[in-house]
Amino acid sequence: MSLRSACRNLLTLSCEDAARLVSDAQERRLTFSERWGLRAHLAICTGCRRFRQQLKAIESAARKLAGQDCVSSDQSVAARERIAAGLRDRLGPQ
């Protein structure tokens, strides 16, 4: 990565590019010029800062929800076992 490329990114990053980089940063490590370009853009663009905050909030909520799903799955297994035990009691041995 050249200094020239990093500087070009600092000066030319559009909101669309910044939004894409904010999203990409959730999945991969950004390059040096991408990171600095994004930082510079976020320093001057309220809309993209807000977008990043919203994306982080969504990610956080999704992680919490995923954790709850695990608990729900455990509860479902326990519920299925109770139902199966109840059916065995009613139907008797087969």
Interface contacts to Zn ion, rule CB under 5 A: 15, 18, 45, 48
Least distance from Zn ion to the Cβ atom of residue 59, Å:
19
Least distance from Zn ion to the Cβ atom of residue 44, Å:
8
Cα separations in angstroms, 12 against 6, 20, 38, 53, 68: 10, 14, 10, 22, 42
Q: How many CB atoms lie within 10 A of CB 61?
A: 10
Report the residue number, 3 or 18, with the smaller CB distance to Zn ion.
18
Report the residue number, 6 or 13, with the smaller CB distance to Zn ion.
13
Least distance from Zn ion to the Cβ atom of residue 42, Å:
8
Choose among 68, 66, 5: nearest CA to 34: 5
Report the residue number, 50 or 80, with the smaller CB distance to Zn ion.
50
Could you tell me how far CA 18 lies from the centroid of its own chain? 17
